[in-house]
Structure 1
Amino acid sequence: MIGAVAQWCECLHGSHPLLKSLASIANGLDAEIIALVRYGRGGDAAGRTVAWDRAALDVRGGRLDCGFARSLLAPYFDAARPGSLWFRSMSEEGKSPDLVDFHAARQLRELVVIPLESNARFIDTIEVHFDTRLRAHQQIMLNALGPVLARTWQNRAQGLFTESLLRLAPTPVAVRLAPILSIENPARLSRAEYRVGLMLSRGLSVDHVKAELGIRDSTLRTHLGNLYAKTGSSNLSELVYRLTSGAPFGTTLDPVRLA
């Protein structure tokens, strides 16, 4: 879990995708689902959710698209201490029909809610689902993890949660068919990634891009790695071709033209 916590801290400053960090925590806990959920103060019972699901390709029982903390914590929801642990198995309110139905459909046994932050506008929580009753080592890790997650969440980069939601949102067909560097930004590049891509498309070498932006080799490698992943490119020449061809995002490359 030490590596997962380190990645979480880096993610909060924009160095790693939030979803990837959540996956590391879930794997460390041997959990089936982990979700970061934001509930609005005005109601928003289901909350807005960034979730990692081990069975992402298995539609049986449905994928998680909501949170359950409001029903689990019930009257304590608004005042729950950040970093504290709340268990479905220890709460009568945790037997809400929606949660019971979801757990039954997905064959899950436990939900642990960790409040992260409560302010005048929203309440953020981490919600972790398990397919078995918690074992001793999982309980120990959760007891140590809760306060750390809540404390570090206070120092996150501005807009982190909203940006993660936008990355997960379904992309309209018209946007998906736009060129990568068009205003629609169909590959959902970050501002830094878009800037690097734009400079490469204008013929600048990797060294010139690094010098122009005043960034380190490691930072540039991170941006390039993200560009490869988001554009489906396997190397620099393929990436530059995709950026400069003007073809719709996701178009299959012509090997002859690429050569």
Structure 2
Amino acid sequence: MYSPEESTSNSCKRMNYYVPRDEIKPCKKPRDEIKSYKKPCNLYGKPRCIPRILVRRFALTRTAYKYLDIGISVGVTSYVELHLGDNRGNQIVLSIDTWESLMLKRVDVEQLVQTPNHAPIWIYDLSIEIVKIHNASIMKLTLRDSCLYMKPSTIFFLFELEHCVNHEYLKLCKNINAVNESFDRLVVNLQGNMFGAEKDDAIKILRDVYDKTSVIDCELLAYAVDELLSETLRRGDVF
């Protein structure tokens, strides 16, 4: 629902530095002795989104109603991701390929705004079109089953952030190796100390072993406990 307000190098794309640990042993417990663990769901019963750390938010409007987030999505292998969204929870996830291609389409976007009944612009799976809402021309961005509405002025400001986002992307890429190492280290600590899948126990263990001087460790503990626990269960205990 609409509310009134709302190129970097390809060499860094999805740089997955994580290498599985050779010394990890299969779980010695029978599978039925390990308590089942389900990832938490949101209010609509859908799986919770993959957590992100080291997030930088760029406001697209004065009230920050619309924003562009860039951060590292955390998991067994971490990667940089961009999120376009608003404070109503609407969100579109952009790959770096889509972002770079969008930045090259400024002239096309300007023509879209100026030309009535112009065909939608397609960038991979992302479509951009003009729709009329309360007699105003609004840009509708659709990516698979997600959509976002923005004023043309908001989209044009997004283009002004091109180099800001590119610099942030490169900086985050340099941190991926450290994120994967911290993630792996915390999982190994859980493997050696847990005998089930109790989240409260996992948090207590992590609070004893995480590096309080590391912003990566601090944010992993704050945002990614569920992913750490899931990966611990996948690997099994180390004896």
Structure richer in helix, relative to its length: 1
Report the TM-score when normalising by structure 1.
Answer: 0.29
Whose RCO is larger (CA < 8 A, sep 6+)?
A: 2
Structure richer in strand, relative to its length: 2
